[in-house]
Amino acid sequence: MLLRLRQDGILLIAKADGLDNRQLYLASACDRVVVSPPGEVSAVGVSAHSTFFGVALERLGLRFDVEAAGAYKSFGETFTRRGPSPESRQATVTLVDDLHEHLVACVAEGRRLHPEQVQAIFDHAPMSAQEAKDAGLIDEVGYDDAIDPLLESLLGEDFDRKDAGWAAWLSGWAQALGDVLSAEPRVVVLHLEGGITMGEESQSRGRIAPTELVPLLRALRDDDRVAAVVMCVNSSGGSALASDLIWREVELLHRQRPVIALFGDVSASGGYYIAAGCDDIIATPSTLTGSIGVVGGKLVTGGALGGLGVYTSVYSRSQGAEIYSTERPFDVQERARFRARLRSTYALFLERVSAGRRRPVDQLEPYAQGRVWSGVSALRLGLVDGLGGITQAMERARFRAGLRPTEPVRRVDVVVRPPRPFYARFLPEGLLGRVDATQQLTELAALVGVRLPEAALRVLRAPDEPLAVMPEEIDLR
């Protein structure tokens, strides 16, 4: 369908925050492909994983009695064997070969590369957005705000932009809200609390996600009645990619009107990242902040599952396809690539803080490296600009906006929450969605009185993503 549109002369531009196999497959059919600067191209080629429970069931005294008509009808092998039969292996290898070759051919055709070049890219994946551009896999490295200038350069004329989905609804809602408010200058107070995620992995009411926050920040940027914005941040961080996408929109908003950050109990790592571009940062003396660093990894379950009699068979067609496999630790090359990715993300984090704090990276580095500071220490080190609460933040916002102390100002408080279907309000939590392994692990630990840190759970949920999270959770008693 996309190729047909392209052949009919319709300009197609793909914009993504990252590209996996499926996303690259679709994007390669477009005229231009743009990926966000902190994004990753994790297209690593096709692989297949098959897990076998035969030994585990046998140890439990269970038997799966199954018959099949046809040598390649191998569904029952999952419950009767510890590995694939020769017929099943042959079928799987053939299938992986076919799918991989099709993916390589389509990407090569769409990106005007030789199949050998695409295979070499897969073998060295994952890669950063800039590396993908250098390899010819994408055309541009940029944020969402780079799309309109790109369209203007390609079309050479004015065009109408139509947004769709949640972003359009929220923009329309924000516009309608502005229409009913008075014409007084407004200071909008955004309340941001929870882990920073890309939004897909959780419908938790306590999260900060670009899917909800970015459209609102854009609406505030376009509303001339907004004199200033105060961001109340209470977060220990999360996804480095989500943090950077939010940082970008805060930076663009900051160019139009003052943005003041007010830190709560914890505003560290990703929580600090999203506020790095603000005009001023206000913290409380006891705020836990800083933690300018990046962490990532994966939980290796192969040994534990093997002890239970559960085994996994893996087929892959690229050297990079198994980098995030939980069956084994990183090998030497994989570990080197993963460390390089973390270092790149850390360098970008430092760059954002350096620009916002107007200090060279080499001066910030001693206070970074993931270290957590109190609000008092952060002020001494120049990581924040003052100590106080909402009163001080509002005063700073008024000053930055050039408003007189006696001038009437309307304060508008906004709490950003993920959308929830109307009918879901009447149903028990979890009824509409699956209970994932991390939730089960959390509940199991709770039975023995152990509370798992949220940061650890994020690593389990997203082994392929660098995380800007605090190194530990600290309770002040």
**Residue 269 structure tokens:** 């790592």
Single-letter code of the amino acid located at 445: A
Name the CA dihedral angle for 419, 422, 428, 430, rounded to a multiple of 10 degrees. -40
Cα torsion 258, 184, 193, 437 to 10°: value is: -110
Q: Does domain 165-293+331-420+436-469 have CATH number 3.30.230.10?
A: no
Span 399-441, pLDDT tens digits: 999 998 788 888 999 987 766 554 444 444 434 344 444 554 4
Q: What is the DSSP string of 300-314?
A: --HHHHHHTT-EEEE
More confident residue, 280 or 99: 280
Burial call 246-263: b when 16+ CB within 10 Å, e when fewer: bbbbbbbbbeebbbbbbb
Q: What is the pLDDT of residues 344-360, one digit of tens each?
A: 888 999 999 999 999 99
Contact 281, 367 (CB under 8 A): no
Q: Is the pLDDT of residue 471 over 60?
A: no
Give, for 315, the enclosing helix (H) or strand (E).
Answer: strand 311-316
Instruction: With CA atoms as reference, report the closest residue to 154 among 20, 9, 35, 257.
Output: 9
Give the pLDDT confidence of 152-164 residue by residue, as tens digits: 888 876 666 666 5
Q: Using 50, 70 and 90 to split pLDDT, how confident is the model at 271? A: very high
Global pTM value: 0.74
pLDDT of residue 470: 53
3-state secondary structure of 248: helix
In DSSP notation, 137-188 reads S-SEE--GGGHHHHHHHHH-S-------HHHHHHHHHHHHHHHHS-SS-EEE
177 has a pLDDT exceeding 60: no
If one looks up domain 1-43+125-161 in CATH, what number appears?
3.90.226.10
Counts of helices then strands in the chain (DSSP H, E):
19, 19
HSE, CB side, 13 Å, CA atoms: give it for residue 245: 24
Residue 57 in contact with residue 142, Cβ under 8 Å? Answer: no
Max mean pLDDT among 147-156, 339-348, 454-463 falls in 339-348
Give the pLDDT of residue 59. 79
| Terminal Cα distance for the chain, rounded | 60
**Residue 3 — pLDDT band, cuts 50, 70, 90?**
confident
- On the question of pLDDT at 473 being above 70, the answer is no
Show me where the domains of the chain are located.
Answer: 1-43+125-161, 45-124+312-323, 165-293+331-420+436-469
Fold agreement between 1-43+125-161 and 165-293+331-420+436-469: yes
